[in-house]
Amino acid sequence: MDLTIRSDREVLTIIRTYLELAKLRIVLLLLFTTLTAMVIAAGGIPAVPILIPTLIGGALAAAGSSAINQYLDRDLDAKMSRTARRPIPSGRIAPLNALLFGLALVAWSVLVLGVWVNWLSAALAFIGAIYYVVVYTMVLKRNTVVNIIIGGGAGAMPVLVGWAAVAGELSIESAILFAIIFYWTPPHSWALALLVNVDYSRAGVPMMPVARGERVTHIQILLYSIQLVLITILPTPLQMLGIIYLLAALALGGGLLWMSIRLLRVADRAVARSLYKYSTAYLAFLFLAMILDQTLLGS
C-alpha cells in the first residue's frame, strides 16, 4: 500500500514537472490572445468545433516551444538564479526527455490544427514554433541586443493562428493584432531584464540593460510604449473595434506611458518591477476589452 501511494506521488510529481516545463502561465496568456483574435474574426463567439481544437493546438504549440527553448537554454538557465530551478538545470528532467517532449507537442499541435481546423493555422503555429526556437533562441538571444525586438514576433504568432482558424486567411486586422503584441514585447521584457540584469550579465546574454546600459533601456521602453499606444488606437478608426475598446486602450495606454516616464525619471528597481507587473496586466486587459467590445457592440 505504501509503495502504491509513493508511486502515485511520483507520477504526480513527474506530471507537475513536465507542466512546469510547459510554462502554463505563458500558455494561458497566449491562448487568451488567440481567443481574442478568433472572437474578432468571427464577430462574436466562434463555433465550438473550431474554437476547441484551435485552443488545444495553440496550447500544444506554445508548451512544446517552451520545452524546446528550455532544452536549448539549459546552460544559460543554470547560470541564472531566476532560472536555476527550472526542470532541466535542477536535474528533475533529463535534457533529451525535455527535447522529445517539446518536439512531440509541436508535432501534435500541427496535426490537431491541420486536421480539425485548417492547414493555414497549422502552418502558422509551426512557423511560430520555429521562430521562437530557431530565430529567437538559437540565433538572436545570445548574439544581439535586438533579440527581444525581433524575437517578439514569436509571441505574436498566436493571434495569426486564431485569426486564420476562423477566417481561413490573414488580413490587415490580424496584422494590427500582431503588431500590438510585437510592440508590447520589448517594454515588457526590458522591464524584467532591468530586474535580473545581474543574471543576464553573468550568463553573457546581451539584453538591452547589459549591452546598452539601464539609461538607454529606460529611454527605449518609453519609445516603444509610445509606438504601442499609437498602434492600439488604430482598430477604432479602421472600424475593427468600437468605443469600449478605444476608451480601454486610451486608459491602459495612459497608465503605461505614465509608468514608463516615471521609470525614466526615477530609475529604480521598484518602479521597474511595477512597470513589469503593469505591462502583464495591460495586455490581458487590453485584449479583454477587445472581446467585450466585439461581443457587446458587435463592432
| pLDDT tens for each residue of the chain, 299 residues long | 344 555 778 888 888 999 999 999 999 999 999 999 999 999 999 999 999 999 999 999 999 999 999 999 999 999 998 899 999 999 999 999 999 999 999 999 999 999 999 999 999 999 999 999 999 999 999 999 999 998 889 999 999 999 999 999 999 999 999 999 999 999 999 999 999 988 888 888 999 999 999 999 999 999 999 999 999 999 999 999 999 999 999 999 999 999 999 999 998 899 999 999 999 999 999 999 999 999 987 64
State whether 95 and 175 are in the same domain. no
Q: Of 139, 170, 201, at which residue does a domain stop?
A: 170
- Nearest Cα to 158, choosing from 22, 60, 44? 60
Sign, CA torsion 102/113/59/234: positive
Note the pTM of the prediction, 2 decimals.
Answer: 0.94
Cell numbers for 151, please give them: 524575437
3 within some domain: no
Regarding whether 218 and 149 lie in a shared domain, the answer is no
* Contact status, residue 87 vs residue 70, Cβ threshold 8 Å: yes
Q: Give the per-residue pLDDT at 53.
A: 98
pLDDT at 2: 45
Q: Do both 200 and 156 map to the same domain?
A: no
Please check whether residue 5 lies inside any domain of the structure: no
pLDDT of residue 3: 46
Question: Same domain, yes or no, for 163 and 19?
Answer: yes
Nearest to 60 by CA among 32, 95, 101: 101
Run of H or E residues at 208: helix 208-211
Give the domain-ending residue among 138, 153, 170: 170
Residues 45 and 142 in one domain: yes
Task: Look up cell 509541436; give the residue.
Answer: 106
Domain for residue 6, yes or no?
no
Residue 77 belongs to a domain with what CATH number?
A: 1.10.357.140
Number of separate domains in the chain: 2
CA distance 267 to 262: 8
Q: Does 152 fall in a domain?
A: yes
Burial 1-19 (b: 16+ CB within 10 A, else e): eeeeeeeeeeeeeeeebbe
Are residues 74 and 43 part of one domain?
A: yes
φ, ψ at 251 (rounded to 5°): -65, -50
Q: Which of 118, 141, 170 is the last residue of a domain?
A: 170
Q: Which three cell numbers stand for residue 76?
A: 544559460
On whether residue 8 sits in a domain, the answer given is no
Residues 113 and 45 both lie in one domain: yes
71 and 130 share one domain: yes
**Same domain flag for 79 and 162:** yes
Q: Answer yes or no: do 46 and 185 share one domain.
A: no
The whole-number pLDDT of residue 115 equals 97
Domain containing 238: what range?
171-299
For residue 4, tell me if it sits in a domain.
no
Q: Crossing angle of helices 48-72/2-22, nearest 10°? A: 90
Query: Domain for residue 2, yes or no?
Result: no
